[in-house]
Structure 1
Amino acid sequence: MHFRSLKKTANDVSIEEPASSDKDGNSLCLMDILTDSEDVAERIELLVRAEQMYIDLDKCLDEREREIIVMRYGLFGKPALTQREAAKKLGISRSYVSRIEKRALEKLREELG
Structure 2
Amino acid sequence: MMIRRMTAWEKLIPSVHQKRIGGRIANEILMMFRTGKKFSREVSIYDPIGADKDGETVSLLDVLEATDREVLETVIIKQDVRCLYEAYRENLTDMERTVIRMRYGLFGTKEHTQREIAEKLGISRSYVSRIEKRAVGHMREAFYEPAGKDL
TM-score interval (norm. to shorter): 0.5 to 0.7
Looking at structure 1, the residues matched to 77 and 138 of structure 2 have their Cα atoms a distance apart, in angstroms, of 23
Please name the residue that 2:109 is paired with.
Answer: 78
Looking at structure 2, the residues matched to 75 and 48 of structure 1 have their Cα atoms a distance apart, in angstroms, of 17
Max Rg structure = 1
Count of paired positions? 82
Q: Which has the higher contact order (CA 8 A, sep 6+)?
A: 2
Return the match for 1:66 from 85, 92, 97: 97
1:50 Cα deviation after fit? 5.2
TM-score (norm 2): 0.42
Looking at structure 2, the residues matched to 59 and 68 of structure 1 have their Cα atoms a distance apart, in angstroms, of 15
Q: Which runs of 4+ in 1 moved over 6 A?
A: 45-49
Looking at structure 2, the residues matched to 50 and 77 of structure 1 have their Cα atoms a distance apart, in angstroms, of 15
Return the match for 1:98 from 114, 129, 147: 129
TM-score (norm 1): 0.53
Indicate yes or no: 2:120 matched with 1:89: yes
Q: Which runs of 5+ in 1 are unaligned?
A: 1-42
Cα RMSD over matched residues?
A: 3.2
Please name the residue that 1:18 is paired with.
Answer: none
- 3-state SS of 1:72 partner: helix
Please name the residue that 2:55 is paired with.
Answer: none
Per-residue CA shift, 1:2-26, capped at 9, x if unaligned? Answer: xxxxxxxxxxxxxxxxxxxxxxxxx
Q: 1:77 to 1:47 in 2, by over 3 A?
A: farther
Q: 1:46 to 1:105 in 2, by over 3 A?
A: closer
